[in-house]
Structure 1
Amino acid sequence: MKILLLSWIFLLPICTLFVSFGIFVVSGQCLHDQQDLLIELKNSLIFNSTLSTKLVRWNESADCCSWEGVTCSDVGRVIGVNLDRESISGGLDNSSSLFRLQYLQNLSLVDNNFNSSRIPPEFGNLTKLSYLDLSNAGFAGQIPIEISRLTRVLSMSDCYLSGPLHSSLQKLQSLSIIRLNYNDLSAPVPAYLFSLPLLQTLELSNNRFSGQIHEFSNVSSFQLNTLDLSNNYLEGPTPMSLFELRGLQDLVLYSNNFSGSLHPNAIQQLGNLSYNNLLIECNGANSSFSSLPQLELLYLTSIKLKTFPDFLRNLTNLIELDLSNNQIHGEIPNWMWKLTHLDYLNISYNNVEGTFPNLSSLHILDLRSNQFHGQLPTFLQPFGYLDLSWNNFSSVIPASSFINIYSLSLSSNKFHGHIPESICNATFLKFLDLSNNSLSGTIPQCLFAMSSIGVLKLKKNNLIGKISDTFPAYCPLVALNLNGNLLEGVVPKSLANCTYLEILDIGNNQIQDAFPCYLKYISTLRILILRSNKFYGSIGCGGPNATWLLLQIVDLASNNFSGKLSIKSFANSKAMVVDNKAQSEFNYLQYQNSPIHTHNYLNQRETSFLNLYLDAITVSNKGLYFELRKIWYRFTSIDLSCNNLNGPIPEDIEVLKSLYILNLSHKAFTDRIPPSLGKLSELESLDLSSNKFTGEIPMQLANGLIFLSVLNLLLNQLIGPIPYIKQFATFSEVSYEGNKGLYGCPLKKECTSTEPRSPPPIFEDSHSKSRRLIDRNYIAAELGFVFGFGLVNGHWAPYVLEEMEDTILQTC
């Protein structure tokens, strides 16, 4: 019997802090030298005064022991500094006054951006430091030896640490907590970590650790209660020593390459292991689990189960059951209704069929991606979280009581009829997805007026009417997707109240309006999609105020915009302008629970279900478009094709250094192609087709666009030789058709170049330090011809390729 142990999926936040360190207690009167050091520190740091809540208030006229983020001893010495989420950028200088705060015991710099700088060894000067948290602070490299003087807590989760752990860490004999998850650490896990005498928590998940975990001795003296080695490359048998750790409460080993057999009785040897924090993965329906009648949480995910395991009927105390990502077919067995304590059931991504199950006691039910059919019951009141997406339900949405629901997804079914106004009675509703159905009629005005909803997705239906101008004054909306309906009218002015909005997608409707400049003060906006409507006038907003600092995807294609192109509206976007190489490759846009979105009625387990990926978007490329189910933070795109813009492309387009896709096709652009386009060094797809460009192709494009894998210059008035070098030597004649004055390779006429056709630059040579290496040979083989960009040079596509679907021909 082959079994692996997993842990409860909701136990590991990316960045974990001690709550007791979040708010500091003021004590004593600040000594002058201590205050001077703090003021010097403030003046040396680069931070956004608009976003800062601590540094911006450090004032010499007040006692520094009263400053937020500062803790003092009884005699006025600074012993704690907390600068979490202070929007600090740049590096930390080795001569910083921070390292002269000789009495400092606690230091936290969580959620800042120190720009991939190395951790200064001067931390070793802080000889009294016992708590150091640099999680998600933007440090990179290796952990310096000097940190070995720490005496209690070392937390550097979600940084960019790499390489093996230095042996000097074994000197940390007093450490009780080590958190190094979400980094790029490699080599075997050092055996000495398990023998640190006071260590209680060891979290090394989501790294590149490899090799075996060997058996260790003197287990009875260990104090470990939490061990997380998940998402690494560890192999070999699971060490039996783990099951002799009497104090172990959370053991997390999933997503490794462990092998061998383990009997369920080994689990019972963990005397203090709470079954509430236990997740088990097995290779089939195994009756041995009937010996664990007290089991309350059981997760059997992604193990190729074909049927519902019969032993489940004996686990009468089950509260949570997860059978997702298997190959289960047939209907839910009747004995499932007898599990009266069951509160959470997830059987998503299987082939289960039948009508809606009679599980009235459940609070959380996830049935997505199965073969359920029929109608919904009129009584849905017990559910708090209900996901029925990607099934075959075919009925009207019942005018049910939705009072308790906080997340409802009915997308990709065959629901028809009107959206019932009774949904608005769900005063706790945060997430509503009715996309991809056949719903008709108008959208209830009360939906837009709800003061709780954070994500509203109604795309790809047959909805008519106007978008109601009823968004509330304190609108919590994060994502609004109404794409692919029959909506008319204008963009409502009250939408400007939604100051947390990140995604606005109202494409493919019949909205007739000018560019919505009244939304320019929504500083959180990342994605703006207005394509295929009737928008008119100039693009962008005038005035000195910054517009959309986080904007990363703009799609205004197929409208009636006119005039000359201005880059000013996009030039303030850090996503497009700033070099973002240091940003984590695994970050996608998500709807996360902040204090703004969370109410007291939701407990920790319930809110964890709301950390959902935000929306899907359609990206066009070379006459095709495809849908991305996840949106990567670094993905940037501008599509202004099929409008009435004219004149030259402005030279200041060169500021968009982090742009990946640029589509300016099907317009009336004239003059020469600006050489400054060659400074868009991250560009992977460039479409300037069907314009009136003249002159030669600038050599700067061929020299500078080293990641370019899609080029479309057809149907212009270009002349002269084609610069057949670097990436330009990989493009076929199709990229240049319709330009009678062009000559040279790859065109058949006058192709005299003797230079070999060079392959695209490989990922390791170009940006080896920016991301983890990924084997992508199998990707290019299947999809390289269809999608082109990102698949040849392996630049960003691995992070979004898995989300592509339904490639369709696009026309203006």
Structure 2
Amino acid sequence: MKTLFFLSVFCITCILPAFGQCLDDQKSLLLGLRNSLRFDLSYSTKLVHWNHTKDCCNWDGVECDVFGHVISLQLDNETISGGIENSEYLFNLSYLEKLNLAFNSFNYIQIPKGISNLANLTHLNLSSNGFAGQVPCEVLRLKKLVSLDLSHNYYFASQLKLENPDLNMLAQNLKELKELYLDLVNISAQGNDWCHAISSSLPDLRILSLRYCSLSGPIDSSLLELRRLSVLQLDGNDLASEVPDFLANFSGLTTLSLRFCSLLGSFPEKIFEMPSLQNLDLSDNILLSGTFPNFLHNGSLRTIVLSHTNFSGTLPDSIGNLTILSRLYLSGCSFFGPIPLTVGNLTELTDLDLSDNNFISSIPSFNLSKKLTYLDASYNSLTGNVPSSLFALPSLIWLWLSDNEFHGQVQELSNLSSSSLKVLDVRYNHLEGPIPKFFSELEQLTRLLLSSNKFNGTVQLEMFKNPHLYILDLSHNDLLVQLTDSDSSLPPFPNIKMLGLASCKLQRFANLLRQSSLTTLDLSSNELKGEIPNWIWEIGYGSLINLNLSNNLLHSFQKPYKFPSLHVLDLHSNQLQGELPIPPLSSLYVDYSYNYFTNSIPNDIGHFLSNADFFSVSNNNLTGEIPPSICSATALQVLDLSANALTGGIPPCLPKKKKLGVLSLGKNNLSGTIPDTFSVNCSLKTLDLQKNALNGKIPGSLANCPFLEVLNIGNNRFEDTFPCMLTTTRLHVLILRSNKFYGDLHCPKAFQEWSYLQIIDISTNNFSGDFSLLNFSKWKGMIRANDNKKSQYDHLRLDFSEVGGHYQDAVTVTMKGLVMELTKILLIFTCIDLSNNKFHGEIPYSIGDLKSLYVLNLSHNELTGPIPASIGNLTQLGSLDLTANKLTGKIPAELASLTSISFLNLSHNRLSGKIPEGPQFQTFSAASFEGNDGLYGCPVDASCNKKGSGVSPPGFQTEEVHLKKEIDWDYVSAALGFAMGFGSTVWLTLHCKRWREMFFGKVDQIYLKIFPMC
């Protein structure tokens, strides 16, 4: 038998060609394919080396069977751009089993129909190629396919589609599939349809990746038919449903990725406990809530990504049981409490992101986590010292600890072993003491961000000799950055690109001409004075693109000067004079506000702002008219010309600008009407025209701006009725004060619901009508409870993308008898001011529905009837003014229970009876109740100031006693208001990171958003 076997083998080898040697027809087809393809020879790593003198089975990317037939062709990432459409060479390689053309660029052509000739294909990868149009029916003829990858064929508006044939037809014809990748292929199917299409035809499917396929939910239980499923990736589909708990029944599932799927409800904890699950990604589902379970020992999870969800609770100590966990991302959730010490025992951990939560206490020791490369614990409430053990982690590359409550000094390290550290960010803490010298010993350091702490002492910039450092930010500390003598320049930082020296007590410019790579320079909030030196525009031979010199004492430009190709030019809050300088053509952000510029705005200014997002010249001394050329600045999102002496009318082209989000022209001398030219679906969020001489009516086309949040046209000469049509917008702030508006506030049914309105000031007009007919229960913007953990810090603002900046809305309100400017409009602040009009009738009981109302001013009207007891439901009320009406009856006892109220004025009405007693009521002066002859009790009675005296009905009081009493109580009220306001501000500053911006000043806000240092 052995002899026969060897004879058989010998005979076969005599008949067949040499083992694995390429057949001539196969080589000819491959050479023809190479010559017909368009590709870049300089980037090719395979095709460029194909040579007819060598055996084609040994060519890069080619594999043959034992008979010399080409069975595998791997031409991925070969920069192929054409020549495949009707390739007779490729589609005659009929023995091909594997074809990989991924990561080429076929310029939006359809998948060639000739693909059907390759009937032996088991693996087909056409991903990331720029194919477009309908997937052809010819693909359905590849019956032997085990793996099909058509993913990531999406460029701009061109996208691969699976409509006819659809997903159902594809699955029915390719029943051998075990791996299916269709990411970014437009499928557009309902939950039941796509789930049934796959589960009914592909029983052996193991990998299913349908990311960004325009699928909808919910996920159907029919998917359980896929008993061998190992990977399920559905990212970027609008599932808009809960995560089904039956997903925990997949016994072999290793990867579950549902990122950005509009998921909601509570995530099933038992999915965390699946014995096979290794990778879980639920990020960017802000309505998805959940908590961590108690993890069992030796859990299988390697990656957990929950960033930007509503997961909450504490991190359990059992997190330490996930011994192979390598990546944990919890950024932007609602976790709280201390970070468990067991996190430090996760020896396989390489990436840890705990940022933007409410973690407290200190960071645990990571001495055992030798593999940790990335740690982000920023935006929490962590306290204590920065653990020195962090700097001793040999593999640590990224360390982000900004925006916490760390304090104390960063300890020096004698034997620094963390030579791998590249990024160190400890901004927005309370770290103090000198800058540690060991920072300059971190040889791999690329970014060092120390701003907004309490570091002190003198710093020589020469100490930072880190050879790879390209971002250095020392801003907003108590540092004195010392420069060498005035004639020498700083030694060049080899790679420095961003230098932040804001608030570093600089009194003169450092000579930075030798910094050849510098692109971003922040010297704001220093003591720089005199001229801006003209050499600053030559830094880096024109490489400078972001310059912030705001909040200094600069008064002019050294001549001659020529702006380089700047993107950001921030000169606000200086003493600059003369004509407005023409910004560079490359400008994206220009801020000249709060200076002393005079004359008119240059007529051709719009030409130089053609790319700009932001342009502000507010609070100068500019005169003349608004030049029409401003409308050629088509990219503008913020235009602020307020607080000057501009005259003339509003150019009709301005409301037509579709990208414009903020138009602020207030506090000028503008006249005429508002042009009725607001375009359909305009982007306007803020329209501020206050304190001009404008007249006419509110244009109806303003309702075309669905995103409008702030409308301020107060202190003008408008004569119109109430703008009911604006209920269709997202209006938060409506200011009509001091005009000639008239009529009542009764809107048609379609315009009765104010879903977002939080501030309304229509005082000092001619409004009238029966006040009792108003239905305040429709004003939902003042009813909602603010239960979101961050809502108390959220405020109205416009973010614009090009330079990462934002425009901060502000508003002036009358509160507690004083005119105050709110530099931030917090979403929780609510105010109604209807004073100085002609409203009559009773105050409706529904006013008590406005649970979040903080200021209520109905003074100087003709209101009658009693004060409704429902006002006692307004537990957030801080200021109540009902003076100068015709209100009758008793002061409701419920008002005495309002513990938040700090200003009350019920004077000059017809109230009677005893003034209610309560802790807050005892702080108000007699002036709050004067002009109501029927009232008695404290504080209007002199006898109540005498210890132990009783209270009697109102009687005669001498003018001297009354005056003395008023002075005393006014003092107490003012002192209490100051104490409460100051105490609240200090508490918010210490404990609420977002409120700190108020104390960094406007320049810090601009710099951190406009000059991001990370």
User: After TM superposition, is the score higher than 0.5?
Assistant: yes
SS of the residue 1:251 aligns to: strand
Q: Aligned residue for 1:301?
A: 502
Give the letter aligned to residue 256 of structure 2.
Answer: G
Q: Aligned residue for 1:233?
A: 406
1:700, distance to aligned residue in structure 2 (A): 0.8
1:346, distance to aligned residue in structure 2 (A): 0.2
Are 2:732 and 1:539 aligned? no
Output one character per residue of 1:221-259: Cα deviation in whole Å (capped at 9) or x when no partner.
Answer: 314334334443332135548975344332112333232
1:108, distance to aligned residue in structure 2 (A): 2.6
Q: Aligned residue for 2:601?
A: 397
Structure 1, unpaired ranges of 5+: 1-19, 37-52, 757-779, 806-812
Are 2:608 and 1:411 aligned? no
Residues 136 and 382 (structure 1 numbering): CA distance in 2 closer, same or farther, change over 3 Å? closer
Give the letter aligned to residue 469 of structure 1.
Answer: D
Residues 489 and 172 (structure 1 numbering): CA distance in 2 closer, same or farther, change over 3 Å? farther
Residues 99 and 177 (structure 1 numbering): CA distance in 2 closer, same or farther, change over 3 Å? closer
Q: Aligned residue for 2:585?
A: 381
C-alpha separation in 1, matches of 2:309 and 2:948: 46
Contact 1:355 1:375 in 2 (8 A): no
1:215, distance to aligned residue in structure 2 (A): 3.1
Match of 2:316 among 144, 152, 159: 144
Contact 1:641 1:664 in 2 (8 A): yes
1:122, distance to aligned residue in structure 2 (A): 6.5
1:722, distance to aligned residue in structure 2 (A): 1.1
Answer with 207-216 or 337-346: which moved more: 207-216
SS of the residue 1:326 aligns to: coil
Residues 314 and 451 (structure 1 numbering): CA distance in 2 closer, same or farther, change over 3 Å? same
Residues 442 and 76 (structure 1 numbering): CA distance in 2 closer, same or farther, change over 3 Å? farther
SS of the residue 1:702 aligns to: helix
Contact 2:369 2:393 in 1 (8 A): no
Are 2:523 and 1:336 aligned? no
C-alpha separation in 1, matches of 2:734 and 2:665: 16
Answer with 742-751 or 158-167: which moved more: 158-167
SS of the residue 1:301 aligns to: coil
C-alpha separation in 1, matches of 2:514 and 2:251: 63
Q: What's the Cα RMSD here? A: 4.2
Q: Aligned residue for 2:807?
A: 612
Residues 578 and 468 (structure 1 numbering): CA distance in 2 closer, same or farther, change over 3 Å? same
C-alpha separation in 1, matches of 2:381 and 2:824: 24
Q: Aligned residue for 2:906?
A: 713
Contact 2:394 2:417 in 1 (8 A): no
C-alpha separation in 2, matches of 1:229 and 1:309: 28
Give the letter aligned to residue 612 of structure 1.
Answer: Y
Are 2:916 and 1:723 aligned? yes
Q: Aligned residue for 1:765?
A: none
- Aligned runs of 1:344-383 on 2, under 5 Å? 344-355=546-557, 358-378=562-582, 380-383=584-587
Residues 433 and 125 (structure 1 numbering): CA distance in 2 closer, same or farther, change over 3 Å? farther
Q: TM-score, normalised by structure 1?
A: 0.79
1:460, distance to aligned residue in structure 2 (A): 0.5
1:92, distance to aligned residue in structure 2 (A): 3.7
Residues 743 and 303 (structure 1 numbering): CA distance in 2 closer, same or farther, change over 3 Å? same
Output one character per residue of 1:694-747: Cα deviation in whole Å (capped at 9) or x when no partner.
Answer: 1111111112x1111111111111111111212112111121111111111111
1:365, distance to aligned residue in structure 2 (A): 0.6
SS of the residue 1:469 aligns to: coil
Are 2:516 and 1:316 aligned? yes
Output one character per residue of 1:60-82: Cα deviation in whole Å (capped at 9) or x when no partner.
Answer: 59979776458999999694354
Contact 1:643 1:667 in 2 (8 A): yes
Residues 111 and 576 (structure 1 numbering): CA distance in 2 closer, same or farther, change over 3 Å? farther
Contact 1:85 1:112 in 2 (8 A): no
Give the letter aligned to residue 322 of structure 1.
Answer: D
Match of 2:851 among 645, 657, 666: 657
Q: Whose RCO is larger (CA < 8 A, sep 6+)?
A: 1
Are 2:1009 and 1:791 aligned? no
1:682, distance to aligned residue in structure 2 (A): 0.8
SS of the residue 1:532 aligns to: coil
Structure with higher Rg: it is 2
C-alpha separation in 1, matches of 2:435 and 2:349: 33
Contact 2:754 2:778 in 1 (8 A): no
Residues 292 and 654 (structure 1 numbering): CA distance in 2 closer, same or farther, change over 3 Å? same
Are 2:823 and 1:629 aligned? yes
Contact 1:710 1:788 in 2 (8 A): no
Residues 481 and 634 (structure 1 numbering): CA distance in 2 closer, same or farther, change over 3 Å? same
1:675, distance to aligned residue in structure 2 (A): 0.7
C-alpha separation in 2, matches of 1:219 and 1:167: 18
- Aligned runs of 1:30-69 on 2, under 5 Å? 57-58=217-218, 68=238
SS of the residue 2:813 aligns to: strand
C-alpha separation in 2, matches of 1:55 and 1:711: 57
1:579, distance to aligned residue in structure 2 (A): 4.0
Q: Aligned residue for 1:760?
A: none
Q: Aligned residue for 1:529?
A: 735
Are 2:121 and 1:121 aligned? no
Give the letter aligned to residue 751 of structure 1.
Answer: C
Q: Aligned residue for 2:683?
A: 476
Give the letter aligned to residue 318 of structure 1.
Answer: L
C-alpha separation in 2, matches of 1:316 and 1:82: 46
Give the letter aligned to residue 341 of structure 1.
Answer: S
1:392, distance to aligned residue in structure 2 (A): 0.4
C-alpha separation in 2, matches of 1:447 and 1:380: 22
C-alpha separation in 2, matches of 1:800 and 1:407: 24
Residues 153 and 326 (structure 1 numbering): CA distance in 2 closer, same or farther, change over 3 Å? same
Output one character per residue of 1:281-322: Cα deviation in whole Å (capped at 9) or x when no partner.
Answer: 552233495252432211001222222224x23323321100
1:752, distance to aligned residue in structure 2 (A): 7.6
C-alpha separation in 2, matches of 1:503 and 1:213: 43
1:397, distance to aligned residue in structure 2 (A): 0.2
1:345, distance to aligned residue in structure 2 (A): 0.7
Residues 139 and 640 (structure 1 numbering): CA distance in 2 closer, same or farther, change over 3 Å? farther
Answer with 456-465 or 182-191: which moved more: 182-191
Are 2:393 and 1:198 aligned? no
Structure 2, unpaired ranges of 5+: 1-151, 153-180, 197-212, 225-231, 448-467, 950-969, 990-994, 1002-1014
Answer with 484-493 or 136-145: which moved more: 136-145
Output one character per residue of 1:588-620: Cα deviation in whole Å (capped at 9) or x when no partner.
Answer: 222124xxxx5xxx4xxx2x02x232x210110
SS of the residue 2:543 aligns to: coil
Answer with 344-353 or 289-298: which moved more: 289-298
Match of 1:564 among 770, 776, 781: 770
1:464, distance to aligned residue in structure 2 (A): 0.9
Give the letter aligned to residue 177 of structure 1.
Answer: D
C-alpha separation in 2, matches of 1:242 and 1:487: 71
Answer with 220-229 or 372-381: which moved more: 220-229
C-alpha separation in 2, matches of 1:271 and 1:789: 46
Match of 2:491 among 272, 290, 312: 290
C-alpha separation in 1, matches of 2:944 and 2:780: 42
